[in-house]
Amino acid sequence: MKWLLNLVSVVLVVGAPAIASAQWQEPGSESGWGSPAPGAGWGAPSNGWGQPGSERELAPTEPETERVWYGWQTLTADGATVALGAATGGAGLVGYFFAVPAIHLAHGRGGAALASLGFRTVLPIAFAYGAVAIDDGDHGYAAPILGAALGVGTAIALDAAWLARETRPRSEPPRAASAPMLQVSQHSAMGGWQGTF
């Protein structure tokens, strides 16, 4: 038993200077395995969800959009083209092919402009060919003319109903407001109601 006491005494004598000179290190001051980064002590905020500087920040909300129909513009252009063509004997044909595609381009929709030009070129030809095939040459030129006219009408309808739609940021409708109005001078007074609608 005496030898055990001697061993403990030797350990204390030898190890006491090392224990006394050791400095206490704050938790997190070492960057070992599983410890926080240097300078980030325990309890320091980490770059978690939604924290500034995090790769996982929440994405900003996108503005609301709405689908807007501008087919009334294409129908107006086609109506003017048909009227011009009837009055000038076919001179409005150029307007039929290029007026409405130009409207799509003005709205920044190049794909819709190409599709419109394709409809206006292919459908009259396809309908005229189909009318000739069905008629079998019994009615002369009436069948292809009627088929081409149906193709023109179909192209105009598809253009206005399907292609003439675009996505825009949703705009708030104007708000109506009203308030009483009173104007008083030295010799008269005038009252009324004013508003914006």
pLDDT at 27: 47
| 102 vs 78: CA distance, rounded Å | 12
pLDDT at 167 over 70: yes
135 or 166, which is more confident? 166
Over the chain, what is the mean pLDDT? 74
Between 181 and 167, where is the model more confident? Answer: 167
Q: In this predicted structure, what is the pLDDT of residue 28?
A: 46
Indicate whether 26 pLDDT > 60: no
Residue pair 49/135 in contact (Cβ under 8 Å)? The answer is no
Tens of pLDDT, residues 64-117: 889 999 999 999 999 999 888 888 877 678 889 999 999 999 999 999 999 999
pLDDT at 59 over 80: no
Q: What is the pLDDT of residue 92?
A: 75
Task: Find the mean pLDDT for residues 2-31.
Answer: 49
Give yes or no for residue 141 having a pLDDT over 80: yes
pLDDT surpasses 90 at 19: no
Q: What is the pLDDT of residue 111?
A: 96
190 burial class (0-12, 13-18, 19+ CB within 10 angstroms)?
Answer: exposed
Residue with tokens 């920040």: 57
Give the mean pLDDT of 127-141: 83
Q: How many helices (H) and strands (E) does the chain have?
A: 5, 4
Residue 98 near residue 133, CB atoms below 8 Å:
no
